[in-house]
Amino acid sequence: MPKTKIYLLLIPVLFFGLSTWASEPVPSDPKATPQAVKLYQQMLKLQQKGMMFGHQDAFAYGTTWYAQEGRSDVKDVCGDHPAIIGWELGHLELGDAYSLDSVYFDNIRKGVNYADKIGAINTISWHFRNALTGGTAWDVTSKKTVASMLPGGEKHELYRQYLDKLATFMLSLKTNNGKYIPVLFRPFHEHTGSWFWWGKNLCTVDEYKTLWRFTVNYLRNEKNIHHLLFSYSTDRVETTGEYLERYPGDDLIDLVGFDLYDRGADYQSALGNCAKIVTQIAAEKGKIAAVTEAGDPSGKQTAWWTKKILETLRPYNLSYVLVWRNSFTKTKDVPFGPYPGSPSESDFVKFYNDPKTLFLKDIR
């Protein structure tokens, strides 16, 4: 066959290939790295298939161990790791060597790398200090903190310094062949409540949105960071209007989520309602939807995984549900994830075996 004819045959192939490529959804950052684009598209596809399981600090420590590569309490219980691994950066802004949860930032970097290498997805939260008062993330004594951090504010320079430290850390998340590891980043969460300095009663709608916009633009434009997908996550809300009241914009956000702990008899209805709200918004906007934090604060319910979580969330196309950490030190919190000997251990295995839930082996 003459060469020109072969080229002609290629035209429909090329056209089809390009049009499929053009219609693929892309993250909010127009300069997102190929790895961030790939992660975004992978998560959008997976959310049609099932719901991933995530655990905060899964690779950092468990109820009886600390910093053992390859171990997680989840794996100790069901034989597989979570698909989503949560990390926390609080105190990075102080220049400390370890986080407010006593995890060395070097170990977080190694853990993010390890998770990425084995095909898991990393999400990072940041309970960072109150720049105005010097208090913790839970210091809600001033309503001026957010305003003070914005351009022109008295703590704006200090906030830039916090972000510089954050940027240095994010830019250190690289694979062995030098590619930035894409991560979900989830700052300023649970802002529909008022227990963090960025909460609802502590700043205006405008201040909250401006804080987001300044932060994302600073990281993207001044620090040249393009491997982050940004998560917006409220606490419990009743309506779509309430959910979106402080939403900073489609050009900044990739994932819409919420945090909801089992604190009362109406947990299932509230969980279902929030799941409905975020999955509808995600479908309309072409974004990822997730339960970004959950847990049973009593630690005693024996069928919590199947009865409360799975049964309630089964109808929805959620990317993941992440439960909070299994602290190895004595805190006021129970371990929220499964662990050997926990009252809900066998129920977790049922949850794991259900086709709706996705763990590491299901996504790589």
- One residue of 90, 187, 199, 335 binding ligand BMA per CB under 6 A: 90
296 counts as binding ligand BMA under rule CB under 6 A: no
Nearer to ligand BMA, 75 or 325 (CB): 325
How far apart (Å, rounded) are the C-alpha atoms in residues 346 and 344? Answer: 6
- One residue of 47, 59, 78, 88 binding ligand BMA per CB under 6 A: 88
Sign, CA dihedral 201-323-210-160, equals: positive
- One residue of 100, 150, 171, 303 binding ligand BMA per CB under 6 A: 100
For the chain, how many residues are written? 364
Nearer to ligand BMA, 232 or 328 (CB): 328
Binding to ligand BMA, residues 319-348 (CB under 6 A): 324-325, 331, 333
111 counts as binding ligand BMA under rule CB under 6 A: no
Cα–chain center distance at 234: 12
Nearer to ligand BMA, 125 or 215 (CB): 125
CB of 91 to ligand BMA, least distance (A): 10
Number of residues that bind ligand BMA (CB under 6 A): 9
Which pairing describes strands 183-186 and 228-234: parallel, antiparallel, or unpaired?
parallel
Q: What are 274's two structure tokens?
A: 């929030």
**What H or E segment, with its residue span, contains residue 34?**
helix 34-49
Residue 358, CA distances (Å) to 49, 208, 362 in order: 9, 34, 5
Q: Report which residue's Cβ sits closest to ligand BMA.
A: 88
Helix ranges (H only) for 201-300 are 205-217, 240-244, 267-285
- One residue of 101, 116, 296, 347 binding ligand BMA per CB under 6 A: 101
CB of 223 to ligand BMA, least distance (A): 24
Q: What are 248's two structure tokens?
A: 């900073």
98 counts as binding ligand BMA under rule CB under 6 A: no
CB of 308 to ligand BMA, least distance (A): 19
CB of 147 to ligand BMA, least distance (A): 24
CB of 327 to ligand BMA, least distance (A): 6
DSSP string, 87-143: EE-TTGGGT-SB-TTS-BHHHHHHHHHHHHHHT-EEEEE-----TTT---TT--S-S
**What H or E segment, with its residue span, contains residue 233?**
strand 228-234
Cα three-residue angle 210-215-221, rounded to 5 degrees: 115
CB of 244 to ligand BMA, least distance (A): 25
CB of 133 to ligand BMA, least distance (A): 18
Nearer to ligand BMA, 100 or 158 (CB): 100
- One residue of 71, 127, 143, 307 binding ligand BMA per CB under 6 A: 127
List, in sequence order, every residue forming a beta bridge with 337; answer none if it has no partner.
none
List interacting residues with ligand BMA (CB under 6 A): 88, 90, 100-101, 127, 324-325, 331, 333
